[in-house]
Amino acid sequence: MDLKFSPSSSQEAGSFRLLELPPELCKLIESSVDNTPYLSIKGHASEDAVLCTADKTYSLRSVVLSNTVIVATASKDAGGGVDIRDQLHEIIELVPAVPKLHKLTGLLRGLEYDEGDEDRVLQMSHYSYEQARNETQASEAEFNQGLKDRRILVLDGQLRPITPAHLSTILELLLNYLVSLGLSHQAAPVEELVSTLADEHEIPRQVTEQVVAWFGDVNEGLWSMDANAVTTEIGLGILRHHKHEPISNAVFMARWKKTVGDSFEAVVQLSLLSGNYLRNTSLASDFDETLTYFPSSGLPIEPAARFAELFLTRPRWKSEEIEPFLSDIAINSKERDKLLLKYARALTGPEGVWYTARVSFNN
């Protein structure tokens, strides 16, 4: 078989890329003979590109090859043979990555939805669902989950983050009406709740419908409420007022239980707020324990900057205390442990494992 360089090889040089598929993506493509899977590469010129499937995000990483790989195709010449189209010295490796949803915070700053917004024309720029989906480095499934987790409404095709205070008000109203109307929180008629909030509190139906969907499952018009999720959000609503002034743990827990009411006070437990607070214990007495609002969502997304912020806040952390503040920057516990190994030093003592910084940070 004749092997020769293609007449257009000089123009095509550098135009081919070899992509190594991880097993799960290879299986997806091989099993989709009649239904081509959705794949897209996202990223602006200033960002590292990612590849997205329908439900996962992968970072693209260049790996240098020790041997040259030749890209060749059958020759179009009458004599046949094979044409060398390009020579590759690297492959692109796909690595599972955390979706880059933090960008939504900046894109939607100033577009918050609050009580009374439905009664006035907002003089503001708008950001559509389609715009944000196309510009955010995340799969569609991860993007939609990100909107839910960040409590972002889709109103007339525009994205509007609901203010925490207004969200807490809506959830408290829902809990109150479940009790006053004698409705089961596991099978509450959505239409009755939506109509009640619209008629008695002028909360738009589309707002209540989305809030209900965030905090449980809706099936055949009935809402099965996620009691843990609702209780957590109400607890955060109280804790947010104590970012600079700590609150007594006992006082906070009592206030939290009173707000959710007798029907749900048994659900209240501090572990629900993991990754959103700092626990401060007085050396004199454990009874003087206080809590400070400290959300992981407010920390830098880059690992080096995240660890710097954490160790500036506290010079050392217990293993179980620091791990919740890393869950949103690590794809799994294995990746989280790699980050701890890279940026922190583990010390084992009578109280368990403590982590300190590998480099010194000064306040």
User: Based on the domain organization, do 104 and 89 belong to the same domain?
Assistant: no
CB 5 within 8 A of CB 85: no
Domain boundary among 146, 162, 178: 162
Residue with tokens 């493509």: 29
pLDDT-derived band at 254 (thresholds 50, 70, 90) equals: very high
Domain boundary among 47, 74, 96: 96
The parent domain of residue 305 ranges over: 299-363
Residue 152 pLDDT greater than 50, yes or no:
yes
User: Based on the domain organization, do 303 and 348 belong to the same domain?
Assistant: yes
156-179 pLDDT tens trace: 999 999 999 999 999 999 999 999
User: Based on the domain organization, do 322 and 351 belong to the same domain?
Assistant: yes
**Has residue 350 been placed in a domain?**
yes
User: Based on the domain organization, do 109 and 75 belong to the same domain?
Assistant: no
Q: Is 275 left (phi over 0), alpha (psi -120 to 50) or beta?
A: left
User: Based on the domain organization, do 75 and 106 belong to the same domain?
Assistant: no
Domain boundary among 74, 96, 118: 96
**Has residue 194 been placed in a domain?**
no
- The whole-angstrom separation of Cα 307 and Cα 329 is 11
288-323 pLDDT tens trace: 799 999 999 999 999 999 999 999 999 999 999 999
178-230 pLDDT tens trace: 999 999 999 999 999 999 999 999 999 999 999 999 999 999 999 999 999 99
Q: At what angle do helices 164-180 and 205-214 cross, to 10 degrees?
A: 90
Give me the pLDDT at residue 112, please.
92
- What the block records as the tokens of 152 is 């972002």
pLDDT-derived band at 116 (thresholds 50, 70, 90) equals: confident
